[in-house]
DNA sequence: TCGGGCTGTAC
DNA sequence: ACAAATGCG
DNA sequence: GTACAGCCCGACCGCATTTGT
């Protein structure tokens, strides 16, 4: 069995706006075998025709019940053997944050984890989502599945993962409890693939739009590719495409070799 | 995220 | 049809 | 009385939707 997969994950901050800024080029160049996107902010019936008719790709979407909110999607050259559109828990599934695609060589999960900044309630919702997801991933792992987990995790794991750690210790996205969950997730055997190759600070995937932070690189690393330990040897590279514009996040990438 | 305006403390 | 306000991040 | 560190607060951008005229 041998194969090569080039994957990319991108929080596009509104798919329709991203398309106007040239998002579809990423697909038309055919460089990636699988493209995972988050924050599509669109329901399937409002999705532009051209996004559904990209030569060479199957496409799958879930959306929130609330209009213009959340939503994730996958473009895939290979047709997955199976597709799941949620974790099976209504309070999470109604926000369109989870897609799972099963391939012969691995199981892919594309996730837009909740943002906890708005209120205490939303922080609790985020922490609940984290716990349920870890249970879900551990169950698949116990089955011997090879897991690839990507998306917007909405937490910077360590001090090295954001430009202003001290100022944000009490802000959702870098709270002790959020970071502790990421410790637990990693301890459970899920590998932050970017750190397999790059130990340096200054590598971020999100920059605030409000004060021109991106050109000064005042950012956070919120977007990740994780793999289960049984896939570690198949990881060929993991990257941050910080020069690709069109969203307040930039894409992250993973190359797998079987 | 960043600056202004306010407080308090140190010298 | 356009402008302003709102919700969310 | 001046200097400085620390805290609080508000404006800030962009997407999509809803509301108002």
Where residue A124 sits, what CATH number does that domain have? 3.60.10.10
pLDDT tens-digit map of A135-160: 999 999 999 999 999 999 999 999 99
Task: Kindly compute the dihedral angle of the four CA atoms of residues A101, A140, A252, A217, in this order, to the nearest 10 degrees.
Answer: 140
Q: Does residue A193 fall inside a structural domain?
A: yes
Strand D, nucleotides < 7 Å from a protein CB: these are 11-18
Q: Which nucleotides of C are covered by protein (CB under 7 A)?
A: 7-9
The answer to whether A44 CB is within 7 Å of strand D is no
CA distance A19 to A48: 9
In this prediction, residue A22 carries a pLDDT of: 95
Residue A39 annotated in ligand binding:
yes
Residue A44's nearest CA partner among A8, A73, A84 is A73
Give pLDDT tens digits for A98-117: 999 999 999 999 999 999 99
Do A74 and A161 have their domain in common?
no
Nearest nucleotide to A95, CA against C1' atoms: C8
Which among A103, A112, A204, A224 is annotated as catalytic?
Answer: A112
- Judged by phi (left if over 0) then psi (alpha if -120 to 50, else beta), residue A200 lies in beta
My answer on whether A163 and A56 are in the same domain is no
Tens digits of residue pLDDT in A47-62: 999 999 999 999 999 9
- Give the structural domain span for A62: 1-80
- The crossing angle, in degrees rounded to 10, of helices A176-187 and A120-142 is 0
Residue nearest to nucleotide C8 (CA to C1'): A69
Complete edge-to-edge strand list for the sheet that includes strand A72-76: A58-62, A72-76, A34-38, A4-11, A252-257, A235-240
Residue A57, helix vs strand vs coil: coil
Straight-line distance from CA A194 to C1' C6, in Å? Answer: 38
Same domain, A132 and A224: yes
A213 Cβ contacts chain D strand, under 7 Å: no
Q: Is residue A93 part of a domain?
A: no
A254 located within any domain? no
- What is the percentage of chain A residues whose pLDDT exceeds 90? 97
A48 phi, psi to nearest 5 deg: -60, 140
Domain presence at residue A4? yes
**Nearest-angstrom CA–CA distance, A171 and A163:** 14
A124 within domain boundaries: yes
Nucleotide nearest to A116 (CA to C1'): C9
A167-CA/D2-C1' distance, Å = 28
Give this prediction's pTM: 0.95
Q: Would you say residue A44 lies in a domain? A: yes
Domain count, chain A: 2
Distances (CA, A) of A15 to A3, A32, A35, A204, A229: 30, 18, 13, 21, 33
Query: A135 and A241 in one domain?
Result: yes
């Amino acid at each position: 069995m041998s194969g090569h997969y080039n994957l990319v994950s991108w929080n596009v901050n509104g798919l329709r706006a991203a398309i106007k800024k040239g998002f579809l080029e990423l697909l038309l160049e055919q460089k990636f075998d699988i493209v995972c996107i988050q924050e599509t902010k669109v329901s399937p019936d409002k999705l532009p025709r051209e996004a559904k008719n990209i030569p060479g790709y199957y496409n799958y979407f879930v959306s929130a019940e609330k209009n213009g909110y959340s939503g994730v999607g996958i473009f895939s050259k290979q047709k997955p053997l199976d597709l799941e559109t949620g974790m099976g828990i209504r309070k999470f599934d109604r926000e369109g944050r989870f897609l799972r695609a099963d391939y012969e060589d691995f199981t892919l999960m594309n996730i837009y984890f909740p943002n906890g900044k708005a209120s205490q309630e939303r922080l609790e919702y985020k922490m609940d989502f984290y716990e349920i997801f870890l249970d879900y991933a551990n169950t698949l792992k116990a089955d011997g599945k090879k897991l690839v987990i990507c998306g917007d995790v909405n937490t910077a794991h360590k001090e090295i993962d954001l430009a202003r750690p001290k100022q944000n210790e009490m802000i959702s996205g870098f709270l002790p409890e959020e970071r502790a969950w990421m410790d637990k997730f990693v301890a459970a055997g899920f590998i932050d693939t970017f750190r397999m190759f790059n130990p340096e600070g200054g590598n971020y995937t999100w920059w605030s739009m409000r004060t021109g932070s991106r050109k000064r690189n005042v950012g956070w690393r919120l977007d990740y590719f994780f793999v289960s330990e049984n896939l570690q040897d198949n990881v060929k590279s993991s990257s941050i495409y910080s020069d690709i514009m069109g969203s307040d996040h930039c894409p992250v990438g993973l190359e797998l070799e079987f």
